Amino acid sequence: MSQESSELVRRTFEALLDGAFQEAAHGFHADAVWHNTGEFPGPLRCDGLPAIVDFWTSYAELFDDQRTGKQEVEQVIAEQKSVVVAVHAVGRWPRSGIPIDVRWAAAVQLRDDKISRVDVHGDFSKALKAVGLEP
């Protein structure tokens, strides 16, 4: 993977995290697939760009409070066929107000310079292992 691929993933994830879904959409293939873990809120699988944007629209509600909610890309590592991205998310569950402070990671596959598949993992080491890089 090239530096350009890493930057594409970083820009796309930063746009998602900032709620700039139209901007983020430019980084995905129309038929992209997003797989979540069972612990992640929302569907386990999102097929196609509209489903991914719907998921992120709902997920972003957890971080609407600008005083306590934030998400940021912490790290991006490129491998031959994939990019691994680490995210830190801090916010509150909308109904209960219970604090959220989690780190999660995703293994991202690209095709023709766009994201074609995202597999969310519970932590960075699991995402690294999924793409064949041992932590």
Between 133 and 103, residue with greater pLDDT: 103
Whether 94 maps to a domain, the answer reads yes
- Residue 114: which CATH number? 3.10.450.50
Whether 135 maps to a domain, the answer reads no
Nearest to 33 by CA among 18, 51, 21: 51
| C-alpha torsion sign, points 10, 106, 46, 96 | negative
Whether 69 maps to a domain, the answer reads yes
Between 71 and 63, residue with greater pLDDT: 71
Strand partners, 126: none
What are the CA-CA distances from residue 69 to residues 25, 41, 63, 66 (Å)? 23, 16, 4, 5
Whether 23 maps to a domain, the answer reads yes
Among the ranges given (90-94, 102-106, 110-114), the one the predictor scored with the smallest mean pLDDT: 90-94
Our count of domains for the chain comes to: 1
Which residue range(s) make up the domain with 71?
3-130
| pLDDT score for 89 | 83
The per-residue pLDDT for range 22-60, each reduced to its tens digit, is: 999 999 999 999 999 887 777 899 999 999 999 988 877
Distance CA(135)–CA(123), nearest Å, equals 11
